[in-house]
Amino acid sequence: MVLPLYAKSLGVASITATITELVKIGLLKGTNNPQITIIIGSTFGYMIAYVAQRYVFHGGRFFGISFLKYFAVAAVAIQLSSLLLKQLQKNEKIRSIIDSPDNSNFRKKTYQYLLINLSILIIFLCVDYPMRKNFIFRKGGNDYIYSCLLYITAITMYICR
Report the C-alpha gap between 79 and 58 in whole angstroms.
Answer: 29
**pLDDT attached to residue 59:** 66
**pLDDT attached to residue 136:** 78
Nearest to 9 by CA among 58, 45, 57, 70: 57
127 φ, ψ (degrees, to nearest 5): -125, -55
Domain definitions of the chain by residue range: 5-159
Please give the chain's pLDDT, 161 residues, in tens.
566 777 777 888 889 999 999 999 999 999 999 999 999 999 999 999 988 888 777 766 778 788 888 899 999 999 999 999 999 999 999 999 988 889 898 999 999 999 999 999 999 999 988 988 888 777 888 888 888 999 999 999 888 87
Report the C-alpha gap between 154 and 74 in whole angstroms.
Answer: 9
Cα separations (Å) of 68 from 24, 51, 64, 137?
Answer: 25, 13, 7, 12
